[in-house]
């Protein structure tokens, strides 16, 4: 390890949502009321603090923690200093009010330059209130630094870093040299947590406050933000909440009738039924960035892009570095043109972002959408920072209003839905897998062109251990969600139900933390968001942190021995009893029912 490392840690203070709902209310102006909401350090940022302090001590260096926010954010910095940070910097001024992610990144970058230089900058993977995961990549772009996300193992050898990183589809090894900026995963290290008493004992002299005047001319805050928040609405629970009681046989009879009513047994196409619209208009361009190896996800994005282009009389351009021989076939899923990026070396996310910047003058797109994945977030965040474009991260729905993109995204752990509008020429959004319907293909092919681009090669990726779970989960006829109430040694008792329904297993965070199922099957705030026709939840308490990931499921059935369990507040139908008794009986009842459905369709 290098001697005397100077390490910066970027943190955010967020509402405390661990364990359930925050009492969120909207005022008469439609804005969120923040009074009385308990605040804490973002859980991912706690790991960044812990690792930053550890590395600084080991190298006899310095760890400085930064936060942008109101005066109340000083409490978060006190906790960081209590954990061992040498000092902290609060960036606070009324001028910063209304900062979006790019304005936030710009202020943080200016503070880092003022207080630096730093060898290593750490930040959390994302924040649990906004879930964008894009500030780190935007800071990296503004400071011209290599960026690696989702770090769960970190070894420093001189100026070289060896990293194991979480990706949406598994794990990957990365190598990068200092200086660099990393976002860290929860499993990297233990969280930095300290009591109110410990925070109060921190020497106030160790915390410096910077105002806008200290950082330069800006623009800062809302003035420097290319996005603004439109309508805000509380997320409504649309589940039926019906409970079946009495003898198990009676409960199963009632459930089967209900599932028939919801058409849960109807097998059909993987497509939504709505076809991809015909596009190719001349008024504007929608650019859809495709991630190699994520075929279904790419088709979802192309269909969504085509719907947007149809409403604004535009053309869809797909940009990809995929080497597949038949990219023209992407036309059936929404692309009018395909631009294939090629290079003499391995094309990284920052290279794709740079190529997109180069396309701006030539194509003049009005909308750019990318996958809300580790790769896609970096591409879109770097592009937005380089072009001063508005970016909505982790959008769950896209609309057009008055010819402009409106991107809806979940916030505060999914308890709110927020409409984000960009004021920039290019309006950007990253979209989570499963948020858009998979549209039925049209009978068209796309034109293909090739663009040779330079590569920087600052981040070297290798040993990509892919878990195909995400693709399987997206295509499954049903999902079975497993909570910690089912011991991993008893998973075999669920196998028959899994096979019968052609289902895939998903899990709560507690299950993946125990290593009983891989993290790629985790559903919830920090995992996947899914939209199966049917999901059966077994052995889970129904905590909001998990159930929010099932919001788009068509029908959710819960099994719990406790009739008062909060699980039943977020399911359509509930079976009361021991899962070990219910699952085999349910399997046999559904087997008979599915056989009847098959015979009736012959």
Question: What's the CA angle centered on 161, arms 156 and 167, to 5 degrees?
Answer: 125
In this predicted model, what pLDDT tens digit does every residue of 517-546 receive, in sequence order? 988 899 987 677 787 889 999 999 988 778
CA distance 92 to 211: 6
* Peptide linkage before 179 cis (omega within 30 of 0): yes
Q: Which of 366, 300, 309 is nearest to 330 (CA)?
A: 300
Considering only CA atoms, which of 538, 534, 535 is closest in space to residue 579?
A: 538
Q: Using CA atoms, how far apart are residues 181 and 276, in angstroms rounded to an integer?
A: 40
Q: Which helix (H) or strand (E) is 382 found in, with range?
A: helix 374-387
Is the Cα torsion angle 177, 183, 187, 192 positive or negative in sign? positive
- Say if residue 598's pLDDT is above 70: no
Report which DSSP code applies to 98: T
Q: Do 386 and 426 contact (CB within 8 A), yes or no? A: no
Q: What are phi and psi of 85, to 5 degrees?
A: -65, 140
- Which region among 160-164, 345-349, 390-394, 596-600 has the lowest average model confidence (pLDDT)? 596-600
pLDDT in tens, 130-142: 667 899 999 999 9
- What do you get for the CA distance between the two ends of the chain, in Å? 69
pLDDT higher than threshold 70 for residue 596: no
Average pLDDT over residues 422-450: 92
Each domain of the chain, given as residue ranges in start order, spans 6-225, 235-268+467-601, 284-458
The CATH code for residues 235-268+467-601 is 3.40.50.1220
CA distances to 321, 365, 430, 480, 530 from 523, rounded to whole Å, are 29, 34, 19, 11, 8
Q: Which of 26-35, 114-123, 261-270, 514-523 has the highest mean pLDDT?
A: 114-123
Given the structure tokens 């402009």, which residue do they identify?
Answer: 404
DSSP symbol at 43: H
Question: Do the domains 6-225 and 284-458 sit in the same CATH topology, yes or no?
Answer: yes
284-458 belongs to CATH 3.30.420.40: no
- Check whether 29 has a pLDDT greater than 50: no
Orientation angle between helical segments 349-363 and 374-387, nearest 10 degrees: 50
pLDDT, residue 553, reads: 87
Cα–Cα dist 274/281, whole Å: 20
Per-residue pLDDT tens digits for 471-481: 788 778 899 99
CATH of 6-225 among 3.40.50.620, 3.40.50.10420, 3.10.310.10, 3.40.50.720: 3.40.50.620
Bigger pLDDT: 148 vs 18:
148
Residues 6 or more apart whose Cβ sits within 8 Å of residue 553? 479, 530, 531, 532, 533, 534, 535
Each residue's pLDDT tens digit, 367-376: 999 999 999 9
Compute the residue count for the chain: 602
Per-residue pLDDT, 268: 52
With CA atoms as reference, report the closest residue to 254 among 494, 500, 573, 554: 573
3-state helix, strand, coil in the chain (%, to 5): 35, 30, 35
Tell me the average pLDDT across 73-81.
96
Residue 388, pLDDT > 90, answer yes
**Rounded distance between C-alpha atoms, residue 536 and residue 498, angstroms:** 10
Select from 89, 8, 70, 80 the least CA-distant residue to 41.
80
Between 394 and 272, the more confident residue is 394
**Separation of alpha carbons 390 and 284, rounded Å:** 17
pTM assigned to the model: 0.88
Share of the chain above pLDDT 70, in %: 92
Mean pLDDT over residues 317-346, rounded? 94
- Which of 71, 357, 11, 68 lies closest to 220, judged by CA? 68
**Would you state the structure tokens that stand for residue 177, as one six-digit string?**
């040299």
Task: Record the tokens describing residue 448, joined without a space.
Answer: 């293909």
d(CA 56, CA 84): 9
């Amino acid at each position: 390890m290098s001697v005397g490392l100077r390490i910066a840690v970027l943190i955010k203070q967020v509402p405390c949502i661990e364990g359930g709902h925050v009492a969120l209310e909207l005022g008469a102006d439609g804005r969120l009321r923040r009074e009385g909401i308990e605040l804490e350090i973002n859980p991912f940022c706690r790991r960044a603090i812990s690792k930053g302090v550890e590395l600084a001590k080991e190298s006899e260096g310095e760890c400085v923690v930064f936060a942008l926010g109101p005066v109340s954010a000083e409490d978060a910095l006190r906790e960081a200093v209590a954990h061992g940070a040498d000092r902290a910097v609060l960036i606070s001024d009324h001028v910063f009010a209304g900062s979006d992610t790019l304005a936030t990144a710009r202020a943080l970058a200016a503070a880092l330059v003022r207080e630096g230089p730093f060898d290593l900058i750490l930040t959390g993977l994302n924040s649990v209130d906004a879930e964008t995961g894009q500030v780190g990549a935007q800071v990296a772009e503004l400071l011209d630094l290599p960026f690696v996300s989702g770090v769960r193992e970190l070894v420093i050898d001189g100026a070289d870093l060896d990293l194991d990183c979480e990706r949406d589809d598994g794990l990957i090894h990365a190598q990068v040299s200092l200086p660099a900026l990393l976002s860290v995963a929860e499993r990297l290290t233990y969280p930095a947590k300290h009591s109110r008493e410990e925070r109060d004992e921190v020497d106030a002299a160790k915390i410096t406050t910077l105002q806008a005047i200290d950082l330069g001319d800006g623009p800062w805050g809302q003035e420097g933000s290319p996005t603004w928040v439109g309508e805000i609405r509380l997320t409504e629970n649309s589940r039926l909440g019906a409970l079946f009681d009495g003898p198990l046989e009676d409960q199963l009879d009632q459930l089967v009738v209900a599932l028939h009513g919801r058409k849960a047994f109807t097998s059909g196409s993987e497509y939504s039924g709505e076809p991809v619209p015909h596009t190719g208009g001349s008024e504007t361009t929608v650019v859809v960035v495709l991630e190699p190896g994520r075929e279904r996800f790419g088709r979802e994005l192309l269909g969504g892009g085509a719907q947007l282009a149809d409403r604004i009389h535009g053309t869809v351009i797909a940009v990809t570095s995929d080497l597949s021989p038949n990219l023209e076939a992407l036309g059936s899923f929404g692309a009018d043109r395909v631009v294939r990026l090629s290079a003499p070396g391995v094309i990284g996310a920052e290279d794709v972002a740079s190529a997109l910047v180069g396309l701006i003058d030539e194509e003049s797109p009005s909308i750019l959408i990318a996958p809300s994945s580790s790769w896609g977030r970096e591409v879109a965040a770097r592009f937005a920072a380089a072009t001063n474009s508005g970016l909505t991260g982790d959008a769950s729905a896209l609309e057009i209003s008055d010819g402009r993109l409106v991107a809806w995204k979940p916030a505060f752990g999914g308890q709110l839905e927020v409409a984000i509008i960009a004021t920039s020429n290019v309006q950007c959004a990253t979209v989570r897998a499963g948020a858009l319907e998979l549209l039925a293909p049209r009978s068209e092919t796309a034109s293909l062109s090739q663009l040779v681009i330079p590569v920087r090669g600052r981040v070297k990726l290798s040993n990509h251990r892919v878990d195909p779970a995400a693709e399987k989960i997206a295509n499954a006829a049903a999902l079975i969600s497993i909570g910690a109430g089912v011991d991993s040694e008893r998973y075999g008792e669920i196998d028959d139900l899994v096979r019968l329904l052609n289902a895939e297993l998903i899990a709560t965070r507690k299950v993946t933390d125990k290593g009983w199922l891989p993290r790629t099957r985790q559903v919830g705030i920090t995992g996947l968001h899914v939209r199966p026709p049917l999901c059966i939840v077994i052995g889970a308490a129904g905590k909001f942190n998990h159930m929010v990931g099932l919001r788009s499921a068509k029908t959710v059935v819960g099994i719990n021995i406790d009739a008062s369990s909060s699980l039943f507040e977020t399911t359509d139908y509930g079976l009361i009893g021991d899962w070990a008794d219910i699952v085999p009986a349910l399997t046999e009842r559904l087997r008979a029912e599915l056989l009847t459905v098959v015979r009736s369709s012959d």
